Structure 1
Amino acid sequence: MQTRFPFVDWFRNSSPYINAHRGRTFVILIEGEAVANGRGEQLIQDLALLHTLGVRLVVVYGIRPQVGAALAEAGIEPVRHDGRWVADAPIMRCVERVAAEQRLWLEARLSLGLPNTPMHGVELTAVSGNLVMAKPLGVREGIDFDHSGEVRRVRSAAVEALLERGSLVILPPLGFSSTGEVFDLDAAEVAQQAAVALKADKLILLGEAEGLHDASGALLRQLTPDEATSLRRAAAPGSEMARHLAAACEAARHGVARTHLVSWHDHDALIGELFTRDGVGTMITQHRYEQLRPAELGDVAGLLELLRPLEERGMLVARSRERLEHEIDDYLVIERDGMIIGCAALHPFVDAAMAELACVAVHGDYRGGARGALLLAEIERRARRRGIRALFALTTHTAHWFFEHGFRLADIDALPPLRREAYNHARKSKILLKPLD
Structure 2
Amino acid sequence: MTSVFNFTFVPWFRSVAPYIHKFRNQTFVVGIAGEAIAAGKLPHLAQDLAMIQSMGVRIVLVHGFRPQVNEQLRAKGHTPKYSHGIRITDEVALDCAQEAAGQLRYEIEAAFSQGLPNTPMADSTVRVISGNFITARPVGIVDGIDFQHSGLVRKVDIAGISKTLDMGALLLLSPFGFSPTGEAFNLTMEEVATSVATELQADKLIFVTEVPGIRIDPLAPAGEDNPIDTELPLATAEKLLATLPAASVPTDIGFYLQHCVKACKNGVERSHIIPFAVDGSILLEVYVHDGIGTMVVDEKLESLREATEDDVGGILQLIEPFEKDGTLVKRSRTEIERDAGLYTVIEHDGVIFACAALYAYPEARTAEMAALTVSPQVQGQGDGERVLKRVEQRAKAAGLDSIFVLTTRTTHWFLKRGFVLVDPDWLPEARKRKYNWDRKSQVLVKKLG
What is the TM-score when the length of structure 2 is the normalising length? Answer: 0.70
Q: Please name the residue that 1:378 is paired with.
A: 378
How far did 1:105 drift? 0.8
How far apart, in 2, do the equivalents of 1:122 and 1:95 lie? 31
Is the contact made by 1:346 and 1:379 (CA closer than 8 Å) also made in structure 2? no
Asked if 1:225 is matched to 2:227, the reply is no
Is the contact made by 2:45 and 2:280 (CA closer than 8 Å) also made in structure 1? no
**371, 379, 383: which one aligns with 1:358:** 371
How far apart, in 2, do the equivalents of 1:383 and 1:284 lie? 20
Q: Please name the residue that 2:270 is paired with.
A: 258
How far did 1:30 drift? 0.6
How far apart, in 2, do the equivalents of 1:102 and 1:312 lie? 55
Q: Cα distance 1:41–1:227, how it changes in 2: closer, same or farther (>3 A)?
A: same
What value does the CA root-mean-square deviation take over the aligned residues? 3.6
How far apart, in 1, do the equivalents of 2:309 and 2:106 lie? 56
1:369-420 Cα shifts (integer Å, max 9, x gaps) = xxxxx755335767999xx9989xxxxxxxxxxxxxxxxxxxxxxxxx9672
Asked if 1:285 is matched to 2:297, the reply is yes
SS at match of 1:11: helix
Q: Please name the residue that 1:82 is paired with.
A: 84
1:263-318 Cα shifts (integer Å, max 9, x gaps) = 000102100111111111111112225445xxxxxxxxx75x75999799422786
Is the contact made by 1:188 and 1:243 (CA closer than 8 Å) also made in structure 2? no
Once the two structures are superposed, the pairs formed by residues 154-303 of structure 1 within 5 Å of their partners are: 154-215=156-217, 217-233=226-242, 234=244, 237-240=247-250, 241-288=253-300, 290-292=302-304, 303=306
How far apart, in 1, do the equivalents of 2:54 and 2:67 lie? 31
User: Share of identical aligned residues, percent?
Assistant: 34
2:17 counterpart letter in structure 1: S
**123, 127, 130: which one aligns with 1:128:** 130
How far did 1:198 drift? 0.9
Q: Which runs of 5+ in 1 are unaligned?
A: 293-301, 325-330, 348-355, 361-373, 392-416, 424-437
Is the contact made by 1:306 and 1:342 (CA closer than 8 Å) also made in structure 2? no
How far did 1:6 drift? 2.0
Q: Cα distance 1:389–1:79, how it changes in 2: closer, same or farther (>3 A)?
A: farther
How far apart, in 2, do the equivalents of 1:171 and 1:226 lie? 30
How far apart, in 2, do the equivalents of 1:284 and 1:270 lie? 15
Size of the alignment, in residue pairs?
352
After the TM superposition, which of the residue ranges 261-270 and 221-230 deviates more from structure 2? Answer: 221-230
SS at match of 1:378: coil
SS at match of 1:227: helix
Is the contact made by 1:3 and 1:9 (CA closer than 8 Å) also made in structure 2? no
Q: Cα distance 1:335–1:107, how it changes in 2: closer, same or farther (>3 A)?
A: closer
1:65-114 Cα shifts (integer Å, max 9, x gaps) = 11111111111113321121210111100001101110111011111212
1:143-170 Cα shifts (integer Å, max 9, x gaps) = 1111101111110100000000001000
Q: Please name the residue that 2:439 is paired with.
A: 420
1:238 counterpart letter in structure 2: S
Q: Which runs of 5+ in 2 are unaligned?
A: 218-224, 313-331, 359-368, 386-406, 411-435, 443-449
Q: Cα distance 1:312–1:120, how it changes in 2: closer, same or farther (>3 A)?
A: closer
Is the contact made by 1:61 and 1:171 (CA closer than 8 Å) also made in structure 2? yes
**355, 358, 362: which one aligns with 1:344:** 355
How far apart, in 2, do the equivalents of 1:160 and 1:132 lie? 13
Asked if 1:314 is matched to 2:335, the reply is yes
Q: Cα distance 1:31–1:419, how it changes in 2: closer, same or farther (>3 A)?
A: farther
Q: Cα distance 1:76–1:264, how it changes in 2: closer, same or farther (>3 A)?
A: same
How far apart, in 1, do the equivalents of 2:357 and 2:382 lie? 8
SS at match of 1:213: coil
SS at match of 1:220: coil
SS at match of 2:234: coil
What is the TM-score when the length of structure 1 is the normalising length? Answer: 0.72
How far did 1:421 drift? 4.6
Is the contact made by 2:408 and 2:440 (CA closer than 8 Å) also made in structure 1? no
How far did 1:357 drift? 8.2
SS at match of 2:236: coil
How far did 1:237 drift? 2.7
Is the contact made by 1:211 and 1:263 (CA closer than 8 Å) also made in structure 2? yes
Runs of 4+ off more than 4 Å: 305-313, 316-320, 379-385, 388-391
SS at match of 1:315: helix
Select the structure of larger CA radius of gyration: 2
SS at match of 2:78: coil
Is the contact made by 1:316 and 1:359 (CA closer than 8 Å) also made in structure 2? no
Q: Cα distance 1:185–1:346, how it changes in 2: closer, same or farther (>3 A)?
A: same
How far apart, in 2, do the equivalents of 1:264 and 1:309 lie? 36
How far did 1:115 drift? 1.6
How far apart, in 2, do the equivalents of 1:117 and 1:419 lie? 55
1:186-212 Cα shifts (integer Å, max 9, x gaps) = 101100001011111110111112211
SS at match of 1:100: helix
SS at match of 2:207: strand
How far apart, in 1, do the equivalents of 2:29 and 2:171 lie? 9
1:206-253 Cα shifts (integer Å, max 9, x gaps) = 111221112252221211333123543525532224331121011000
How far apart, in 2, do the equivalents of 1:275 and 1:422 lie? 38
How far apart, in 1, do the equivalents of 2:271 and 2:207 lie? 8
Is the contact made by 1:137 and 1:150 (CA closer than 8 Å) also made in structure 2? yes
1:225 counterpart letter in structure 2: L
2:378 counterpart letter in structure 1: E
1:314 counterpart letter in structure 2: E
After the TM superposition, which of the residue ranges 208-217 and 116-125 deviates more from structure 2? Answer: 208-217
Q: Cα distance 1:228–1:258, how it changes in 2: closer, same or farther (>3 A)?
A: same
